[in-house]
């Protein structure tokens, strides 16, 4: 099912993109949680936007590179000229995509845990005046898990387009539209939450709405139920991508 | 070993392959000759299981190419027409990756091939020239010593010295009893290597010829230049198979089969001749004839 040599190649060829996105996300997280000027915006700006925008860009580029672009360029021919099944190729690439996201959020979570231990922040300081106490390590882990699940769903949809189309321009075009709409709608919905009522309904336009850091901060359980939907979307989209890629004619 | 039966795949706009059928026996080398866009790579693509035939069957070693491509690939070395290698690797890493994916490790063979094609695989693939990438693809296609080889325009991008080297290399592989399908539009290479040659044009197989026949020369063509117009006209009345008659240069080309050579010499003795040249129909000319649409060529008619 999993091809180790192919996995290695995927890690190598996407290392720069992964490294820079992880680096930027981690640095921003450290900055937002450490600097007095920006601490109060840790959740609105960093967890509200950056944890979907940065991984969003990463999955948009990477998902396309994992299948569609290799078919488009022709390098997939070398992979399939070996006794490797197409299903093994898609499984390996999807495995890479999901695990690279897990690693990305892992690094950033660890960084945040470290900065939070060094310089704890009260929930009240970030605008949640009705809540007592500091931001706990448990909350940080839960918020990141919630964001990770949504990012996996985003990656799965991009992967699906990458599997369906044999040409980069269609794969990246549709994935880009999807990611763009998801992130923009999420931002607009966030303004809705902050008081612009007319923008509230945008939350129905994006799967980023299943990422619910407020529920975590309020120690609710909603965020756990909301994990199920992106998980289901991810499974469905990865499956469709897999099937399309395995069945279609490849112009190699 | 390789069997293509009435393969049809229509991509629209007249592109694709139509009713292509041929077989390559064990240990045989079949040359697949045709102009660009004739359907050579499309046929290869079906043999590799990348595309499914709309009609007909393709199989290698008795296994259906669309149903069991990964099974087939265990015995097949494929040299793609495109030299787009996977990204982010050095040459050596690419070789290692292909070895791991094939599950075959034969470092001795790799060293031998690298030395033979004078390739240094240490640099990044991205920075390699087309020729170097092609060499790298050759090394990875041959390193596991596969029984069957599908070579799609294998020498494009190689310099003439390396083309020569490649041809002598394939000759050695032939001795080892490999079954080879070689697509190309370079006559000399096909002529030098293949036992049989299939010519494809506009997606249809137009002719399959024995290479030995072509090497011997299909026909002889004599070109005669006369000293005066009188002789030219008079000669034109002879009962000969004229391929060309050009009054302005007083030149005639006549197609002569081996058994008619004496009759021909008797016929020209009476005329004053300025120059005389003889040449055989080469594969190139035979092939060029399929580019052009004339049905009559070198005294050989094709229906």
pLDDT at B178 over 80: yes
Rounded to whole angstroms, the Cα distance separating B301 from B303 reads 7
B90 within domain boundaries: yes
Residue-wise burial string across A34-47, b where 16 or more C-beta atoms lie within 10 A, e elsewhere: eeeeebeebbbebb
Q: Are residues B117 and B241 in the same domain?
A: no
The minimum CA-CA distance between B99 and chain A, rounded to whole Å, is 9
* A212 pLDDT tier (thresholds 50, 70, 90): confident
Q: Residue B119 and residue A21: Cα distance in Å, rounded?
A: 36
pLDDT, position B303: 37
The rounded percent of chain A whose pLDDT value lies above 70 is: 100
User: Does residue B113 lie in a domain region?
Assistant: yes
- Asked if A172 and A164 touch (Cβ cutoff 8 Å), the reply is no
Min Cα–Cα distance to chain A from B67, Å: 11
Mean per-residue pLDDT, B104-118? 92
* Shortest alpha-carbon distance between residue B172 and chain A (Å): 23
Give residue-wise pLDDT tens across range A25-47: 999 999 999 988 888 888 888 99
| Closest residue by Cα to residue B45 from B85, B83, B16 | B16
Is the domain of B127 the same as that of B198? yes
Is residue B42 located within the same domain as residue B89? Answer: yes
* pLDDT one-digit tens code per residue, A44-54: 889 988 999 99
Instruction: Name the band, by pLDDT with cuts 50, 70 and 90, for residue B301.
Output: very low
B224 with B208, same domain? no
Token pair of A23 as six digits: 């680096």
Among candidates A8, A82, A250 on the partner chain, residue whose Cβ is nearest the Cβ of B102: A82
**Where residue B76 sits, what CATH number does that domain have?**
3.40.50.300
Q: Which residues does chain B have within 8 Å of residue A252's beta carbon, measured at their own beta carbons?
A: 45, 48, 50, 80, 82
Quick check: A171 contacting B, CB < 8 Å?
no
CB A42 within 8 A of CB A137: no
* Furthest CA-CA distance within chain B: 76
Buried-exposed string A156-189: b where 16+ CB fall within 10 A, e elsewhere: bbbbbbbbbbbebebbbebbbebbeebbebbbbb
* Cβ separation B89–A9 shorter than 8 A: yes
Tell me, yes or no, whether B299 lies in a domain: no
Q: Please give the average per-residue pLDDT across B90-115, as a whole number.
A: 92
- Do residues B191 and B287 make contact, with C-beta atoms less than 8 angstroms apart? no
Does pLDDT of B194 surpass 60? yes
**Which of B116-125, B139-148, B255-264 has the lowest average pLDDT?**
B255-264
The CATH number covering residue B248 comes to 3.30.2130.10
- 8 Å CB contact between A105 and A12: no
DSSP at B90: B
Q: Which domain holds residue B264?
A: 219-280
The answer, yes or no, to whether residue B297 has pLDDT greater than 60, is no
**Closest chain A CA to residue B146:** A82
Assess whether pLDDT exceeds 50 at residue B182.
yes
Contact (CB, 8 A) for A59 and A155: yes
Q: What is the pLDDT of residues B227-274, one digit of tens each?
A: 888 888 888 888 887 878 888 888 888 888 777 788 888 888 888 888
Tokens of A161: 């387009």
Are B231 and B177 within one domain?
Answer: no
Q: How confident is the model at residue B290 (pLDDT cuts 50, 70, 90)?
A: low
pLDDT tier at B296, thresholds 50, 70, 90: very low
3-state SS string over chain A? CCCHHHHHHHHHHHHHHHHHHHHHHHHHHHHHHHCHHHHCCHHHHHHHHHHHHHHHHHHHHHHHHHCHHHHHHCCHHHHHCCCCCHHHHHHHHHHHHHHHHHHHHHHHHHHHHHHHHHCCCEHHHHCCCCCCCECCHHHHHHHHHHHHHHHHHHHHHHHHHHHHCCCHHHHHHHHHHHHHHHHHHHHHHHHHHCCCHHHHHHHHHCHHHHCCHHHHHCCCCHHHHHHHHHHHHHHHHHHHHHHHHHHCCCCC
Indicate the pLDDT class of residue B220, thresholds 50, 70 and 90: confident
User: Residue B202's CB: how many other CB atoms inside 10 A?
Assistant: 16
The reply to whether B295 falls in a domain is no
The three-state (H, E, C) secondary structure of B119-140, written as one string:
CCCCCEHHHCCHHHHHHHHHHH
Task: Give yes or no: residues B148 and B254 share one domain.
Answer: no
CB A17 within 8 A of CB A58: yes
The count of domains in chain B is 2
Instruction: Say whether residue B134 is in contact with chain A using an 8 A CB cutoff.
Output: no
Does residue B104 fall inside a structural domain? Answer: yes
If one counts every other C-beta atom within 10 angstroms of the C-beta of residue B251, the result is 17
Minimal CA separation from B87 to chain A, in Å: 6
Strand partners, B210: B196
Give residue for tokens 């860009």. Answer: A57
Assigned token pair, B207: 């002719």
How far is residue A126's CA from residue A213's CA, in Å, rounded to a whole number? 13
Q: Which residues of A touch B97 (CB under 8 A)?
A: 5-6, 8-9
Query: ipTM value of the model?
Result: 0.85
Rounded to the nearest angstrom, the minimum Cα separation between B138 and chain A is 11
Confidence of residue B298 (pLDDT cuts 50, 70, 90): very low
Task: Extract the tokens encoding A151.
Answer: 């990012």
Confidence of residue A220 (pLDDT cuts 50, 70, 90): confident
| Residue B271, domain member (yes or no) | yes
Share of chain A above pLDDT 90, in %: 71
Asked whether residue B201 falls in the same domain as residue B272, the answer is no
Stretch B147-156: mean pLDDT: 92
Cα–Cα distance for residue pair B140/A199, rounded to 1 Å: 57
Chain A partners within 8 Å of B82 (Cβ):
73-74, 77, 252
The per-residue pLDDT for A73 is: 93
User: Is residue B289 very low, low, confident or very high in pLDDT (cuts 50, 70, 90)?
Assistant: low
**Residues B81, B175 within the same domain:** yes
Residues B114 and B254 in one domain: no
Q: Which residues of A touch B100 (CB under 8 A)?
A: 4-5
Residues of B in contact with A84 (CB under 8 A): 70, 73, 101
B88, closest residue in chain A (CA to CA): A13
Tell me, yes or no, whether B89 and B180 share the same domain: yes
CB contact under 8 A, B50 and A250: yes
Helix (H, G, I), strand (E, B) or coil at B250: coil
The predicted structure's pLDDT at residue B215 = 63
pLDDT of residue B295: 43
User: Measured between alpha carbons, how far is B116 from B113 in angstroms, rounded to an integer?
Assistant: 5
Instruction: Nearest by CB to B73, from A82, A250, A251: name it.
Output: A82
Comparing alpha-carbon positions, the chain A residue that sits nearest to B138 is A78
Q: Does residue B292 form part of some domain? A: no
Which residues on chain A are in Cβ contact (under 8 Å) with B153?
none
**Domain annotation covers residue B169:** yes
Beta strands across the sheet bearing B15-24: B15-24, B2-12, B55-60, B63-64
Per-residue pLDDT tens digits for A82-122: 999 999 999 999 999 999 999 999 999 999 999 999 988 88
Residue B21 sits in the same domain as residue B117: yes
Distance from CA of B190 to the nearest CA of A (A): 23
User: Considering chain B, what percentage of its residues have pLDDT values greater than 90?
Assistant: 46
Kindly state whether A84 is in contact with chain B, defined as any CB-CB distance less than 8 angstroms.
yes
| A129 pLDDT tier (thresholds 50, 70, 90) | confident
Tell me if residue B17 falls in helix, strand or coil: strand
Q: What is the pLDDT of residues B21-54, one digit of tens each?
A: 999 999 999 999 888 888 899 999 999 999 999 9
Asked if residue B225 and residue B135 are part of one domain, the reply reads no
Q: With an 8 Å Cβ cutoff, are B102 and A74 in contact?
A: no
Nearest Cα to B4, choosing from B17, B20, B18, B15? B20
Residues of A in contact with B101 (CB under 8 A): 3, 5-6, 79, 82-84
What distances in angstroms separate CA A123 from CA A40, A135, A223, one per listed residue?
9, 6, 18
């Amino acid at each position: 099912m999993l091809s180790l040599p192919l996995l290695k190649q995927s890690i190598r060829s996407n290392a720069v993109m992964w490294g820079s996105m992880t680096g930027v996300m981690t640095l921003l997280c450290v900055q937002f949680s450490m600097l007095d000027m920006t601490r109060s915006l840790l959740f609105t700006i960093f967890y509200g936007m950056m944890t979907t925008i940065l991984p969003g860009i990463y999955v948009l580029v990477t998902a396309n590179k994992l299948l569609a672009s290799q078919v488009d360029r022709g390098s997939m021919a070398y992979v399939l000229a070996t006794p490797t099944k197409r299903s093994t190729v898609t499984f390996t690439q999807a495995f890479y995509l999901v695990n690279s996201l897990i690693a990305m959020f892992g690094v950033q979570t660890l960084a945040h845990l470290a900065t939070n231990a060094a310089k704890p922040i009260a929930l009240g300081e970030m605008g949640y005046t009705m809540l007592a106490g500091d931001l706990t390590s448990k909350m940080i882990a839960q918020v990141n898990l919630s964001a990770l699940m949504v990012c996996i769903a985003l990656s799965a949809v991009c992967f699906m387009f990458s599997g369906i189309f044999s040409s980069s321009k269609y794969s990246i075009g549709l994935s880009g539209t999807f990611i763009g709409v998801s992130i923009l709608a999420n931002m607009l919905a966030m303004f809705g939450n902050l008081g612009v009522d007319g923008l509230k309904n945008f939350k129905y336009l994006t799967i980023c709405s299943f990422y619910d850091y407020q529920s975590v901060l309020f120690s609710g359980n909603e965020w756990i139920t909301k994990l199920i939907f992106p998980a289901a979307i991810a499974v469905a989209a990865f499956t469709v991508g897999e099937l399309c890629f395995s069945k279609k004619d490849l112009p190699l | 070993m390789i069997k293509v039966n009435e393969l049809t795949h229509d991509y629209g706009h007249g592109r694709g392959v139509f009713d292509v059928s041929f077989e390559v026996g064990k240990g045989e080398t079949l040359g697949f000759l045709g102009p660009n866009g004739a359907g050579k790579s499309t046929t290869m693509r079906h043999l590799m299981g990348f595309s499914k035939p709309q009609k007909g069957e393709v199989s290698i070693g008795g296994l259906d190419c669309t149903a069991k491509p990964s099974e087939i690939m265990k015995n097949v070395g494929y040299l793609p027409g495109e030299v787009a290698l996977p990204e982010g690797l050095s040459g050596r890493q690419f070789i290692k990756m292909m070895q791991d994916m094939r599950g075959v490790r034969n470092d001795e063979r790799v060293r031998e091939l690298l030395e033979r094609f004078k390739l240094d695989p240490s640099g990044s693939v991205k920075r390699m020239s087309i020729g170097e990438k092609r060499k790298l693809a050759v090394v990875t296609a041959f390193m596991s010593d596969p029984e069957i080889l599908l070579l799609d325009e294998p020498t494009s991008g190689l310099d003439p010295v390396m083309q020569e080297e490649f041809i002598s290399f394939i000759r050695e592989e032939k001795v080892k009893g490999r079954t080879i399908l070689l697509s190309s539009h370079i006559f000399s290479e096909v002529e030098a290597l293949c036992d049989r040659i299939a010519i494809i044009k506009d997606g249809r197989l137009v002719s399959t010829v024995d290479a030995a026949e072509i090497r011997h020369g299909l026909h002889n063509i004599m070109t005669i230049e006369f000293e005066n117009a009188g002789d030219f006209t008079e000669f034109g009345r002879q009962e000969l198979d004229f391929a060309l008659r050009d009054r302005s240069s007083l030149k005639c080309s006549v197609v002569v089969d081996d058994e008619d050579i004496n009759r021909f010499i008797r016929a020209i003795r009476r005329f004053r001749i300025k120059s005389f040249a003889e040449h055989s129909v080469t594969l190139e000319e035979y092939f060029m004839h399929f580019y052009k649409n004339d049905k009559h060529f070198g005294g050989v008619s094709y229906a």
